[in-house]
Amino acid sequence: MRHDHLLTAKQLSRADIETVLDRAAAFDDDPEAASERYADTLLALCFFEPSTRTKMSFETAAKRLGGDVVDMGSVESSSVKKGESLADTVRVVEGYADGIVLRHPKQGAAKMASEHVDVPVVNAGDGAGHHPSQTLLDLYTIRERAGLDDISVGIMGDLKYGRTVHSLAHALTNFDVRQHFVSPESLRLPRSVRYDLHEAGAQVREHEDLEAVLPNLDVLYVTRIQRERFPDEDEYEEVAGEYRITPETLDAASDDLAVMHPLPRVDEISGAIDETENATYFEQAHNGVPVRMALLDLLLNDD
Amino acid sequence: MTDTELRVSKIQSGTVIDHVSAGEALHVLKLLGIDGTGGTTVSLGMNVPSDRLGRKDVVKVEGRELSDSEAEVLSLIAPEATINIIRDYDVVEKRRVERPEEVGGVLVCPNRECITNAGEPVDPTFAVLDDGLRCEYCGEIVREDITAHLRD
């Protein structure tokens, strides 16, 4: 893998993905193996939107590699509040750090930032756009649970605004994966993602009900249906219940079904699922550290 | 000279944009930044008969030769257009428009959440697809009514 930045999952080939996942597996097996590799390396965390898992796992990954982080802090306490542009912010931060992890509410923000700096930029979520490092840990988790070829993956919830969904859908086109998208009509995949999947020749089906497709799935990737997206509360209530996973829902599923979620969840996965063999979301979150260690290792390494 | 060409006056020097899709002439002017206030002499023929297109628009701009980048963007709204460069009443160059691989700086991304609409120092750039345009930043695809997104 040789990329200057990680901006979208679309830029990742199968070989790139396998390189990251293999290296992540090595770090997972032996977290101390690279503990001094990036001493004196500083990673800048620029989060213009709230984040818990992504931010902390990047911070943990940097420190596990022997490096450290500088954190922009909240937007409220930064120069952004004074009207500074993102372009200026990253140009300043470039002078402090060896790489920039950027989360921003505007789509395309990471790409624009990458055009203004010479250090690697990692897109840690750009509005409803992309979240490629999440996708790498999703793929790592899927590979561990089901393998990455000849599988059926259901992706359910808010497919329209869910950036993790968009990135995952793109990345899965590198593998022999049947993708089933389950959502209310109003939250279907955006046209741009459907266009890419079509161009990539992906095996894609869209559904409004989980029921018909659930028995055939190896993985069910659930995302939160975002109440705030609906113009009418009743309309939200009507569909939200249809997209909630309970033990009863899983009666029709394969015993081996891996239930995944990028987190945070609200009520779309019942707490009763947590203790089952199907629950994979906490393991998935844990995988964020070795995967981001591998990603940073590949992006920050000058060799 | 054909009847169609006689409907609008000949120009001494400048550009004649012929075979513009019927009804698109005003969009061509917008693309060229011509709104009548700059003193440029412009002649328009709209919905005139055309053997090739059935109906077409013709735009004649006095004293101005289209640049290559203007011609590229013209291809998006008038893919059948021909550009005739006129000097001393003679056509010195005649060419068809060609679709570029990307266009920048002339269109606004319709996605309000795109970084190109956030006051940042970035020119909206679009990849040209077979059947539309795609923002290089947010990925938004524009297929219909491209001229509605021309930058003011």
CB contacts of B133 in chain A (<8 Å) are none
Task: With CB atoms and an 8 Å threshold, state whether A192 touches B140.
Answer: yes
**Which amino acid is located at A217 in the chain?**
L
Which residues in chain A are closer than 8 Å to B139, comparing Cβ atoms?
Answer: 107-108, 129, 192-193
| Interchain pair B122, A129: CB under 8 A | no
Task: With a cut of 60, say whether residue B5 has pLDDT above it.
Answer: no
Question: Residue B3 — pLDDT band, cuts 50, 70, 90?
Answer: low
- Give the model's pLDDT for residue A2: 58
Q: What is the pLDDT of residues A105-154, one digit of tens each?
A: 999 999 999 999 999 999 999 999 999 999 999 999 999 999 999 999 99
Q: Is B114 on the interface with A (CB under 8 A)?
A: yes
Secondary element (H or E) of residue B121? none
Mean pLDDT of B30-34: 83
Q: In this complex, is the C-beta atom of B133 within 8 Å of any C-beta atom belonging to chain A?
A: no
Whether the predicted pLDDT of A48 surpasses 90: yes
Determine the residue type at A270: S
Scored b (16 or more CB within 10 A) or e, B30-47 reads bbbebeeeeebebbbbbe
Return residues 152-191 of A near B (CB < 8 Å): 191
Split at pLDDT 50, 70, 90, the class of A60 is very high
Nearest CA to CA, how far is A64 from chain B (Å)?
33
Distance of CA A302 to the CA centre of its chain: 25
Q: Say how far apart CA B122 and CA A87 lie, in whole Å.
A: 9
Alpha-carbon dihedral A135, A139, A140, A141, rounded to 10 degrees: 100
The region of weakest confidence among A132-136, A297-301, B7-11, B104-108 is B7-11
The reply to whether residue B139 touches residue A107, judged by beta carbons under 8 angstroms, is: yes
Residue B143's pLDDT band (cuts 50, 70, 90): confident
The beta-carbon neighbor of A86 closest among B111, B120, B141 is B120
Give me the percent of chain A exceeding a pLDDT of 90: 83
How far are the Cα atoms of A11, A45, A222, A287, B88 from residue A135, in angstroms, in the given order? 12, 19, 14, 11, 62
Supply the pLDDT for residue B61: 93
Question: Does A108 contact B134 at a Cβ distance shorter than 8 Å?
Answer: no
Which of B108, B112, B116, B120 is most worth mutating to test chain A (most A CB atoms within 10 A of its CB)? B120
Work out the mean pLDDT of chain A and round it to a whole number: 94
Inform me whether the C-beta atom of residue B1 falls under 8 Å from chain A C-beta atoms: no
pLDDT tier at B131 (50, 70, 90 boundaries)?
Answer: confident
Q: Which residue has the higher pLDDT, B132 or A99?
A: A99
pLDDT at A64: 95
Q: What is the pLDDT of residue A121?
A: 98
Instruction: Tell me which of B10 and A48 has the higher pLDDT.
Output: A48
Q: Which of B138, B128, B70 is nearest to B99 (CA)?
A: B128
Q: Using CB atoms within 10 Å of the CB of residue A133, give its burial: 0 to 12 exposed, 13 to 18 middle, 19+ buried.
A: buried
3-class state of residue B47 by DSSP: strand
The model's pLDDT over B107-123, given as tens digits with 9 standing for 90+, comes to: 899 999 999 999 999 99
Quick check: A258 and A218 in contact, CB under 8 A?
Answer: yes
State the smallest CA–CA distance between residue A192 and chain B in angstroms.
6
- pLDDT value for B142: 92
Can you give the pLDDT at residue B78?
86
pLDDT given at position B73? 80
- Summarize the confidence of residues B97-109 as an average pLDDT: 89
Active-site positions of A? 53-54, 82, 103, 131
Spatial CB neighbours of B37, under 8 Å, sequence gap ≥ 6:
none
| A223: Cβ contacts below 8 Å, ≥ 6 apart | A155, A156, A157, A158, A159, A162, A164, A165, A261, A262, A268
Torsion angle, CA of A67/A282/A221/B112, rounded to 10 degrees? -50
Rounded average pLDDT over A156-177: 97
A194–chain B Cβ distance below 8 A for any pair? no
Minimal Cβ distance to B120: which of A112, A129, A195: A112
B131 touches chain A (CB under 8 A): no
Examine residue A247 and say whether the peptide bond preceding it is cis (omega within 30 degrees of 0): no
| Confidence band of B7 (pLDDT split at 50, 70, 90) | low
Q: What percent of chain B is modeled with pLDDT above 70?
A: 94
What is the per-residue pLDDT for A276?
96
For residue A3, pLDDT beyond 80: no
Contact A285, A246 (CB under 8 A): no
Tell me, what's the pLDDT at B36? 83
Q: Which of A39, A120, A69 is nearest to A299 (CA)?
A: A120
Indicate the residue of B113, B118, B141 with minimum beta-carbon distance to A195: B141
pTM of structure: 0.90
pLDDT in the model for residue A1: 57
- pLDDT value at residue B147: 78
Which residues of B fall within a CB distance of 8 Å from A106? Answer: 113-115, 118
**How many CB atoms are located within 10 Å of the residue A32 CB?**
8
| Chosen from B122, B125, B131, B134 to mutate, greatest number of chain A CBs within 10 A | B122
Query: If you count residue pairs, one on A and one on B, with CB atoms under 8 Å apart, how many are there?
Result: 55
Q: Which of A82, A88, A107 to mutate to test the interface with B (most CBs of B within 10 A)?
A: A107
Average pLDDT, chain B: 88
Confidence bin at B6 (pLDDT 50/70/90)? low
Distance from the B137 Cα atom to the nearest Cα atom in chain A, whole angstroms: 4
Q: Which residue of A has its CA nearest to B137?
A: A108
B7 three-state secondary structure: helix
ipTM above 0.85, yes or no: yes
